[in-house]
A and B are shown apart, each in its own frame.
Chain A
Amino acid sequence: MPTFKLDDREIPFEPGDTIIRAAHRVGIDIPHYCWHPGLSVAANCRMCLVEIMPPPGRPALMLDVLSWDAEKGEYVPQKKPKLQPACQFGAADGLVVKSGTSEHVIKARSAVQELLLLNHPVDCPICDQAGECRLQDYWLEHQAKKKRMRDEPVHKPKGVVFGPTIVYDAERCIVCTRCVRVSEELAKDPVLSVRERGNLNEIVVAPGRELDHKYTLMTEYVCPVGALTAVDFRFKARVWFLRSARTVCTGCATGCNSFTDFDPRNQKVYRYRPRENELVNKYWMCDDGMLEHRRIHEGRVLTARVRGENTTREAALEKAADFLRGKEPSSIGVVLSPEHSQEDNLALVWLAREVLGTTQVFVGGRPEGTGDDILINADKNANSAGVAEFVDLIALRSFSEFEATVAGGKLDVVVSLGSAVPHDTQAPGKVRALVSLVTHEGPWSKAGAVVLPASSWAESDGTFVNARGLAQESEKAISPQGDSRPAWRLVAELARALGRAPSWRRVEDVRGSVTKAARTSSVPAPSAGANG
């Protein structure tokens, strides 16, 4: 592989790489605002300037500049090398590049930083970006000087509503055009553009339009400063209190890798952020997925219920065991849910096969939605492919067959997992004794004679197999809310109440049996890096 030299390190690169991309790949961060690994090169912020050394024996390209001489008290003519933007300059074999070791680069960074902050409002105390803002970080790293300009900065509109999800503050904007490029290149909807020039420029929405495509939150996500804020997140939390779990989005079968940001003190999830994975979602997530986090706290079932009355989990489990005891195996139905992880479903398959002895196993899930050819899959279940894999262990039947079997009066007791049904149906209500393991209110929780509160995806570890057959692990973020427990644990407790303790006690044990039972492929560890 060809290499070039960046400061003291040899950096390998692939043909076509720019200096910044090759450095980024080996984990060296050249300061930058406008470059994003998932977007085209704009080279407008000038933060990434580096010094390219001339080939041996050739003179460097020098510029004549005037620089302030404090001793003489006047400007004196000087020469300085012409710096190049690392985000645009192609890597070449044997190139010698100086970044942090060049005094000219260090000066240039400080100057760029000073320019960007000239008219900046420094709203940090009221800015939601504070704590993860490039202006703050780079100011400390590369400038760390007081402002010299005494004039009133240029004022521009603040709090401009761009659409249902995004609010824009023109004063904070550094016009890096990342948001413009996300709309154009990722969402294929060029609804944002720049107007005016110099320190009057700002981002505007196309006349007559709103910023309302399916990837609006990605504009906020790539914004390196606090100019774009998400209506969903703004004013809700200070980012330095949040911790992140590496999770998988459960909004659809694509299974985008995400970070779940939560406050450990109040055990509340505040937002998702995309997590880089070249194989699945690259750098992005869709708006619906980004807002899925709300469902972790909204519409949840957090206490056990028997015939509509709240009760303890133990009492509800006892009641459920009562229903199941001594029943003819063929009169017991089990409904799996592709909303839930492999572990939850496998536990239920085990219950059906080893404890209940039934072969009446059906698959439920959320209804089909719409997809696109960017990320969104029409299948709104995160684990359809995973549940389908259990066909090796037990015959799986569709939800329509479930409806037909219930209508035929063949099922006395049903144990169901999941909160949604694939289409409008009366079937859950027609089951004589329904034991439903639910996370959210819905048809199953309404119809359940016994309702057991299951933890959501954010409250337990789990494996989800996406539409392309990739098994991905999602980490637990917060503790189970209310009286809820992971569904696989509820199944274990139910089995225990029926006198059959399972051999697994931890999620790893269940997962171990998943690996044995079903085909899994592994996902390469995604590299770190907050927003590119």
Chain B
Amino acid sequence: MRHFFQNTKEMAFGMRNDPNLEAIEDGVNTISYPEQRRPYPARFRGVHRLTHREDGSPRCVACLCCSTACPAQCIHIEASEYPVGDKRRGYERFPARFVIDELRCVFCGFCVEACPCDAIRMDTGIHAPPYDSREQFIYEKDLLMGFAGRDGSQASANPRHEPGEASHPGVDRERQH
């Protein structure tokens, strides 16, 4: 009853709960979602992003650990080899396609846990938006790489030891020990 009067009063006077303060007030407090939103906790799992290497290419090495771990089987990766002449050729793979079906995803975060490279993250803070067709939930690699973390960064916290770096042994026997 109290809420009814409170809500009616707020409606009439255009007052709204403060979404931050209401959380510490006693009892059930209603906010007017979606105009008003409660702030998400720091570790909220939002839509995925793919992190970058220094040269802007995906950190992902197409190991398929995430898609193996995914209980919803909503990650589809097509692995490919780097082209002849690339310094990473013969050394690792990259995802030619990396697709996540955000509609099938259950936001469990297993993919992030499984990734040995910190290549996939869910720290965008973006709530999965409502769309009106299934196709729109299919996020391709470019879109996933376009997102940044909530701190604005796109780099991987686990940078790759790249062929060509001073401490890197290289892919052949050129560097003798």
Contact = CB atoms under 8 A, between A and B. Distances in A.
Contacts of B68: 238, 240-241
B133 to A, nearest CB: 26
Contacts of B91: 126, 158-159
Interface string B90-119: 111100000000000000000000001100
Contacts of A158: 91, 163, 169-171
Interface string B164-177: 00011111110101
A126 B169 contact: no
A235 B63 CA distance: 9
A240 B117 CA distance: 19
B157 to A, nearest CB: 15
B126 interface: no
Interface stretch (A5-13, A149-157, A337-345): A149-157
Contacts of A159: 90-91, 171-172
A156 B116 contact: no
Given A130-B63, A159-B91, A125 B117 contact: yes
Contacts of B90: 159, 167
Contacts of A155: 167-169
A124 interface: yes
Given A126-B93, A159-B90, A238 B64 contact: yes
A124 B172 contact: no
Contacts of B117: 125
Interface in B117-131: 117
A155 B174 CA distance: 13
Given A159-B91, A160-B172, A160-B173, A125 B167 contact: no
Nearest to A152: B167
A171 interface: yes
A235 B79 contact: yes
A235 B93 CA distance: 7
* Chain B interface size, under 10 / 10 to 19 / 20 to 34 / 35 or more: 20 to 34
B61 A157 contact: no
A237 to B, nearest CB: 9
A235 B172 CA distance: 18
What band does the interface of chain A fall in when counting residues whose beta carbon is under 8 Å from B? 20 to 34
Kindly name the residue among B68, B116, B169 whose own CB sees the greatest number of chain A CB atoms within 10 A. Answer: B169
Most buried by B among A158, A167, A171, A241: A158
A404 interface: no
A115 interface: no
Nearest to A125: B63
A241 B68 CA distance: 9
Contacts of B61: 125-126
Interface in B129-177: 163, 167-173, 175, 177
Contacts of A125: 61, 63, 65, 116-117
A155 B173 CA distance: 11
Interface string B33-70: 00000000000000000000000000001011100100
B90 to A, nearest CB: 5
A156 B93 contact: no
A200 interface: yes
Contact of B63 (A152, A160, A167, A238): A238
A196 B173 CA distance: 14
Interface of B: 61, 63-65, 68, 79, 81, 90-93, 116-117, 163, 167-173, 175, 177
6 contacts: A124-B116, A126-B91, A160-B172, A161-B172, A170-B169, A235-B79
4 closest A-B pairs by CB: A159-B171, A125-B63, A155-B169, A126-B92
